[in-house]
Amino acid sequence: ERFVNTASVAARTDWADVGLAQQRPAEVDGEPLAKKKRGYGSSSEEESDDEDDAAQTILESNASLFATSSSGQTLPPTLLNVVRTRDGNLSDPNNSVVSALQFHPGSDEDNPLLMTAGMDKMLRFFRIDEEEDNPKIHGIHFPKMPITCASFLGDSGSVVLSGRRPFFYVYDALSGKIQKVPSIVGRTERSLEKFSVSRDGKMIAFMGNDGYVILVDGKTRQWVGDLKMNGSVRAIEFEEGGEYVLGSGSDGDVYRWHIGSRRCVERFHNEDGTITSSLAASSNFLAVGAESGVVNLYYDRHAPSLARGGSRLGLASTNRAPLKSIMNLTTSADNLRFNHDGDILAMSTKREMNGLKLLHVPTATVFSNWPTSKTPLKYVWSMDFSPGSRYLAVGNDHGKCLLYRLKHYWDE
């Protein structure tokens, strides 16, 4: 009975039904992903003019430049209405840095489910309910692994956890079962401390040695293939549709691989020229963070068409210029995260006190009013937006999960 609360933490509990989660089509902005992937060019001439087509698309678009919330209001480009609320893990703070946190992608927008994990070897679940001080739902201890990375497997109730160990765990919050995967067959890595999970939870990509990205099936937990890049891997990110995965690292190049064929279909050099430290992708944009602190924002809507041509014709090496280079961080850009509609990009560093900035993506301008020098962020280790972007959670080195309400995304 102790797991009943975990499965019923939100007003909408259909995310906890694995069967329903598998039947539910993935959506972006209310449209099926399959629909958003249609309409790519097929001729070689069109493929060679992808950059021009992308620019033409921007100029011909009649969509509003500024984002609008469900209440129809425009998101201001310079001022963001942010209100701090009770800490997400107030009822049971971490006894270490909050190295990983995530809102369940299918939980209720008003009362989402929050997961935190850290070097204290604890995985915790909280229901965000300000009237009840965000009660803790459940917690479990992993005595043999300080947790450095944790993520939900798509819309299911399972969580993947890893640390500086050659093994990883999958915890099923619905049944309470823990599966230990002792190793990845054919691989000799002594640490699987960093990974990325596809949005549908079907694929896990671990950072391996010698420039390898290790693909593991999210359901069977078995090795399915390797991807290779030059240099060492420092960042991995799946695109929204799950058909492609992005990687970058010590050589400063960004690679795009087609999951089905395991082929590199695009490669371009990040203009900053230093070691890549983080990646983030939305339906329209790609953000690349570097150890220098520079975050480059690229328009990426045309990329799937280019990638499809590359998977058919071979590697497509391109020269891409960023729309904007954001230089508000002075140390390594360790974490990047787009919100649910891709209109806000959160950027943070673990190496500088209060190192967090929020970017208004449509205008590529940093919000000037928040955070301020007096915002008690401390050293930011992790962050995430809730479903619908009503909350922003920030995990710091003091074991706190700071929680902020983004007023723009609340219905008036």
The pLDDT value given to residue 152:
98
DSSP labels for 93-142? Answer: --SS---EEEE-TTS-SSS-EEEEE-TTSEEEEEE--GGGT--EEEEEE-
DSSP state of 408: G
Strand partners, 117: 100, 123
Contact 344, 360 (CB under 8 A): yes
Give CA–CA dist 284/281, Å, rounded.
8
Q: Which helix H or strand E contains 280, and what residues bound it?
A: strand 276-281
Residue type, 165: R
**Beta-strand relationship, 365-366 and 356-360:** antiparallel
3-class DSSP state for residue 340? coil
Confirm if 351 and 330 have CB atoms less than 8 A apart: no
Nearest to 123 by CA among 161, 154, 156: 161
pLDDT at 318: 76
- Say which residues have a Cβ less than 8 Å from residue 73's Cβ, sequence separation at least 6: 408, 412
- pLDDT of 7 reads 44
- Between CA 149 and CA 160 the distance in angstroms is 8
158-187 per-residue burial string, b: 16 or more CB within 10 A, e: under 16: bbbbbbebeebbbbbbeeeeeeebeebeeb
Pull the structure tokens for residue 156.
Answer: 């299911």
Please tell me the distance from the alpha carbon of residue 320 to that of residue 322, in angstroms, as a whole number: 7
62 Cβ contact list (under 8 Å, min separation 6) = none
| pLDDT tens per residue across span 247-285 | 999 999 999 999 999 999 999 999 877 899 999 999 999
* The pLDDT of residue 108: 94
Residue 242 contacts residue 258 (beta carbons within 8 Å) = no
* pLDDT score of 316: 63
Q: What is the CA radius of gyration of the chain?
A: 20
For residue 348, report the phi and psi dihedrals to the nearest 5 degrees.
-145, 160
Instruction: List, for the chain, all residue ranges whose pLDDT scores fall below the cut of 50.
Output: 1-4, 6-48, 50-51, 54-55, 57-67, 70, 307, 309-313, 412
